[in-house]
Amino acid sequence: DIQMTQSPSTLSASVGDRVTITCRASQSISSWLAWYQQKPGKAPKLLIYKASSLESGVPSRFSGSGSGTEFTLTISSLQPDDFATYYCQQYNDYWTFGQGTKVEIK
């Protein structure tokens, strides 16, 4: 089974900050990685697929990079609506999520 490890688990940041979340896979997954945003009581929302492709309608301040086993999600300038929990997901071999990164207000 492929394990996904996100870091950090919690991130405190201010509006306007540049934020980076890392996701590592236990084995190579090529670029078969997605990022989701989840707010309390809501379903996850797709942000990024194939490691770096921005889902339609998602603001351009969100970007993804990486391949193989190391990936990053970057928010270039954090907005009030971005305080949420973010999950990476590999879909190379079945499906596995990272444990999540909660982005909190500093």
Partner 1 sequence: EVQLVESGGGLVQPGGSLRLSCAASGFTFSTDRMNWVRQAPGKGLEWVSYISSSSTTIYYADSVKGRFTISRDNAKNSLYLQMNRLRDEDTAVYYCARGMTGMNYFDYWGQGTLVTVSS
Q: Which stretch binds partner 1 (CB under 8 A): 12-20, 42-50, 66-74, 75-83?
A: 42-50
CB of 15 to partner 1, least distance (A): 26
Q: Which of 55, 58, 61, 74 binds partner 1 (CB under 8 A)?
A: 55
Q: Which stretch binds partner 1 (CB under 8 A): 15-23, 57-65, 69-77, 91-99?
A: 91-99
| Contact between 13 and 102 (Cβ < 8 Å) | no
| Contact between 65 and 71 (Cβ < 8 Å) | yes
Q: Which of 19, 23, 34, 73 binds partner 1 (CB under 8 A)?
A: 34
Nearest to residue 2, comparing CAs of 90, 70, 73, 63?
Answer: 90
Q: Which stretch binds partner 1 (CB under 8 A): 16-24, 40-48, 57-65, 72-80?
A: 40-48
Residue numbers at the binding site for partner 1 (CB under 8 A): 32, 34, 36, 38, 42-46, 49-50, 55, 87, 89, 91, 94-100
